[in-house]
Amino acid sequence: MLRTFLAACLRETRRILSNSRIFPLLIGGPFFYAFVFGGAFWQGRVQYVPIVIVDQDHSALSREFVRALRASDSVKIVGWVDSPAELVSLARREEAYACVVFPLNFERDVLAGRSPKVAILVDGSNTLIAGPALGAVRDIAATYQVGIDQRDLEATGVPADGSPTITGNSTAGNSTIAARPITFAERPLFNPTGSYSYYILIGLVCAAVQGVIRMGVGVSIGIDRYDRLLSDLKSRDLSVPWLFASKVIGTCFIALPAMYGAVACVLWLFGTPHRGSLFLVLVACTIYVPIQICMGYAYYNLCKSPLFALHIHMYMASALFILSGFTWPYYAEPSLVSAVAHCIPLFPMNCIMRKINLIGAPAGWLLPHFLALAVWLVLAGTLGFAAFKQWCRMQSAAPVPGSRTES
């Protein structure tokens, strides 16, 4: 009994080792996802969030605060602006995600013993990005003890002999004073409640639609009737390109309304804000769905089997969602991983949906992402047609089920 059991175990191991499909999945899968997740979360936390500064005080203290922000690896100062209102356009162009505002008389209030208030505006449409920016300012504001050069303080009446200052502390080495606690006022843009569901839900729907459509196409290829295919191919009025187009459009008749309905549920049933153009949402979905249908055919050509193509779709679903930038900001990833993220159709689609619904971005701000989807539509259509053409060639050479040749 035991010998037979062990022989069966070894036989199963040899079978897996000799199978060119099962063995790579079982052995390579854990390493593949280890590198995908490890690459995406390489930094351990979101770092160097682009921010801008509005300095209405232009004082030594505000400059010292800016230097403290520069020393933080949580944020990266990319410029100075004249008004906090400029953050809206900067966020839409993904050039900056937060704005720190130093009010007029900021230093004077500190020296007078009053607690000044630093304002911070953040792009709340991306909660993963807003958190590090808020945290950096909170940390500095809560524990800020700034050293101010004596030359900058002489005009304010700070004594240079180490006697108590107006803040109640003695100067250290005749060169520094202890700053009063600095408070801050937080104002999230686009997502005032800071709801994570508003940010992640639309991305999950786009990822789910991608997986479902690709898997559905794989199943459809597997159950397509050979006799109907051969009949269509022999028809003088329907060439292979037109037959492929009919397959894609016919699938769109089902998949497009399904995606429209899923997006409608997110926006109106589950309460995700919608501040932009509904027409742009429909256009994005109309481009996105054919891309996934064509990629379903391309996957089939790569796998040579509907069942194996279905497995590959499921195998890649988590990796593609991680790389899409919705679980981790793409710019916080290593450059190679970020480059890969920009090369998958889920990335521009998620950017379009988030910017339209949460930010209310107009078509001009979305043009790069729409161009990326258009490029993917051409590329996916080319790959899908090549796969379909090869599939038709294989089916034409195969016997029709139930024919005399097969029997």
DSSP 55-76: ESS--HHHHHHHHHHHH-SSEE
Our measurement of the distance from residue 136's CA atom to the centroid of its chain's CA atoms, rounded to an integer in Å, reads: 22
pLDDT band at 323 (very low <50, low <70, confident <90, very high): confident
pLDDT beyond 70 at 284: yes
Between 113-122, 153-162, 276-285, the lowest mean confidence (pLDDT) is in: 153-162
Which residue is it, tokens 């030594």?
A: 60
Q: What amino acid is encoded at 31 in this protein?
A: F
β-strand 49-55 against 98-102: which pairing, if any? parallel
Q: Among 219-223, 267-271, 273-277, which is the least confidently predicted range? A: 219-223
C-beta of residue 102 within 8 angstroms of C-beta of residue 56: yes
Rounded CA-CA distance 40/249 in Å is 36
pLDDT at 42: 60
217 against 292, higher pLDDT:
292
**So what's the pLDDT on residue 163?**
46
DSSP letter (8 states) at residue 183? E
**Span 238-243, average pLDDT:** 79
Quote the mean pLDDT of the chain. 75
The pLDDT tens digits of the residues spanning 374-392 come to 999 999 999 999 988 887 7
Kindly list the structural domains of the chain, giving each domain's residue range(s) and its CATH number in brackets, ordered by start.
49-144+179-189 (3.40.1710.10), 196-397 (no CATH)
What percentage of the chain carries pLDDT values higher than 70? 70
Q: At what angle do helices 363-397 and 346-354 cross, to 10 degrees?
A: 150
